[in-house]
Structure 1
Amino acid sequence: MKIFLKYGSLIAFLISLLGLLYLIKNNSILSLNPIALIIQIASVGIMVWARITFGIKSFHVSSNATKEKLITNGPYKWWRHPIYASIIYFFLACLIAFPNYKTFIAVLIIVFSTYVRMLFEEKELIETFENYSEYSKKAKRIIPFIF
């Protein structure tokens, strides 16, 4: 099962890269739209905060980087997956800046594959940490206090 989760996460990551490459190719990532820029800057801030809180372990593609202890402080107090959430926020902002069906499809691919990675990682975390179910009742996946 663990090998399936690792490879599934890797495949989802590679699929999200296809969406990213499409957005880069079509210059559909950054714009001068102030709302999109604010969302993207906030997303980068959340990601940096999460990476600093989590430590060097967070800089790899495979899921379940938390082998020794469950991180529940910093942004992990509100989000179970602040890095994935920030990726989703960042690319949803692309739809505000570039509202067309091609951008929609690319962002949908990125968001869906990121969400799949999130689910794969949660399966591992549930197996690894007995207190993960309790933690998941307090911290939400993508939107604090809601979802």
Structure 2
Amino acid sequence: MNPMAFIWLVYAAWILLIVYLTVSAFGAKRDTEEHMPQRLGLMVAMIAAFLLPRLSIFRFVNFAPVNAVLSSIGVVVTVAGMAFLVWARQSLGGNWSQIVSSKQGHELVTSGPYRFVRHPMYTGGLVACIGSAIVVGGGFVFLLILLGAIFLWRVGAEDRLLARQFPEEFPDYARRTKALIPFVW
């Protein structure tokens, strides 16, 4: 298979994921307050991730395409991460939010992938970024780094929000379920 085909597969998968997340957002419950800085921060991070590899100092991350075996593994990892993310999004239903925010009629979801980790959408997104970085390099390397930092901040922020909203249920759920990596952290 042509190495460029793997790159196009990864980009096509991301486009499909973005379309899915955009369309599925229409059924989400309303946020109780607006958080424009969070939305802008996420957008700036994604734009920066794909502009940074264009700077000569960071050209070393533009290592793709690699061999077909490694690219195949990267595509499988990308799709697996996205599948986990979509499963988590489906499990959340109307409780999903693009930002860290309380929802009207918010419910604590502990089923589906939330049985294994408290933040499976972040887990899936990071795994998809790792697979994409293997295949494409460049912007996905920086996306992994920047989203990783944002997701780590959001894990803490979401845990604090859920602890306030669900003072009876969340502490027990947090004790029995790891944040991002099953059985580890």
Q: Which bracket does the TM-score occupy, shorter chain normalised?
A: 0.7 to 0.9
Partner of 1:89: 127
Q: Is the 8 A contact 1:30 1:37 kept in 2?
A: no
Whole-Å separation in 2 of the counterparts to 1:20 and 1:29: 16
Deviation at 1:97, TM superposition (A): 2.3
Structure 2: gaps spanning 5 or more residues: 1-32, 55-60
Query: Secondary structure at the residue paired with 1:17?
Result: helix
Which of the pair has more CA radius of gyration? 2
Query: Secondary structure at the residue paired with 1:145?
Result: coil
1:121 aligns with 2:158: yes
Question: Hey, which bits of structure 1, 4+ residues long, moved more than 6 A?
Answer: 25-31
Partner of 1:132: 170
TM-score w.r.t. length of structure 1? 0.75
Encode CA deviations 1:75-120: one digit per residue, 9 max, x unaligned.
00001011111111111223322457x7534421121112212221
Deviation at 1:7, TM superposition (A): 5.8
Whole-Å separation in 2 of the counterparts to 1:109 and 1:146: 22
> Higher RCO, 1 or 2 (CA under 8 Å, sep at least 6)?
1
Structure 1: gaps spanning 5 or more residues: none
Count of residue pairs the alignment pairs up:
142
Q: Which amino acid aligns with 1:132?
A: F
Distance 1:8 1:133, change over 3 A: farther
Whole-Å separation in 2 of the counterparts to 1:97 and 1:141: 27
* % identical aligned pairs: 20
2:77 to 39, 48, 54: 39
Partner of 1:111: 148
The two structures, once aligned, show a CA RMSD in angstroms of: 3.4
Whole-Å separation in 2 of the counterparts to 1:84 and 1:110: 9
Partner of 1:18: 47
Encode CA deviations 1:40-94: one digit per residue, 9 max, x unaligned.
1111111111111110331x32214555321101100001011111111111223
Partner of 2:181: 143
